[in-house]
Amino acid sequence: MDVCKSIDEIREVVKSLKSQGKRIGFVPTMGALHEGHLSLIRQAKEKADEVVVSIFVNPEQFGPNEDFESYPREMEEDLKKCEDEGVSVVFAPNRDDVYDEKKYIRIEVDELNRHMCGGSRPGFFEGILLIVNKLFNIVSPDVAVFGQKDIQQFQIVSRMVYEFNHNIELIMAPIERANDGLALSSRNKYLSLEEREIAPGLYRALNYIEKQIQGGVDTPSLLLKHQKSELEAKGFKIDYLDMFDKKTLQPVETLSKGSEYILAGAVWLGKTRLIDNFLIEL
């Protein structure tokens, strides 16, 4: 497995692989790899001959009071996991390799970041698009795999690929969960033992709402309100819990047959922010 630190180095390695007719799969990560990340790598291996994984904690997607400094960094363990999964190349640049001290050009997002995680994290998706656009230009993959857990990210990146004419196939891999339903996340490391016992409550709330919708409920506002109250009673602080149109990412009040929706929630449990979602097709 090659470990590339510089942009020139990763470009040369990928160029060499492509000259051999290899199809390149790409999994961008911020490290602290868990089974969810490894499932993305496995999906990339199914769609490509060689897999590149990037490990870079992107400062541009963290707000002033967020956890950039404390975000888990486990490079040695991450490299071992990548090697065990048969990854061909890891791109692990330093901040100065990726960003100049001053940036004159930025990417803006309209409407798609108004709700869900974008509603409470201003600048978050602009920071994500900045790094993903850079990584796509640096790595030049044929296919890139993202996780459904970050579904708003996937939808916005998909729109960027379409509007910027990136010649990249995007794949959304299903959410990997613990046995009790908790969506796997690097930030789960922040949970205390007591909080970890409570944490699957978000999954259970979404699961309950989804079953009611599939059973015929087409105006889920009361369901959502009730589940918010239940979660708050258990110690969760609600960021959002709502139904969203899959394409526009706008909240919806009434559900229609033949449409696709995202049932999504974000909550705080202590200092840990948890997100989860279900895709619903009616």
**Residues annotated catalytic, as ranges:** 37
Asked whether the beta carbons of 266 and 120 are under 8 A apart, the reply is yes
| Contacts for 275 with CB less than 8 Å, ≥ 6 apart | 117, 149, 150, 183, 185, 264, 265, 266
Radius of gyration for the alpha carbons in the chain, expressed in angstroms and rounded:
19
Q: At what angle do helices 7-19 and 124-139 cross, to 10 degrees?
A: 50
3-state secondary structure of 275: strand
DSSP secondary structure string, 16-39? HHHHTTPPEEEEEE-S---HHHHH
d(CA 35, CA 102): 36
Asked whether the beta carbons of 224 and 213 are under 8 A apart, the reply is no
The percent helix, strand, coil of the chain (3-state, each to 5) is: 40, 20, 35
Element (H, E) at 276: strand 272-281
Task: Kindly report the length of the chain.
Answer: 282
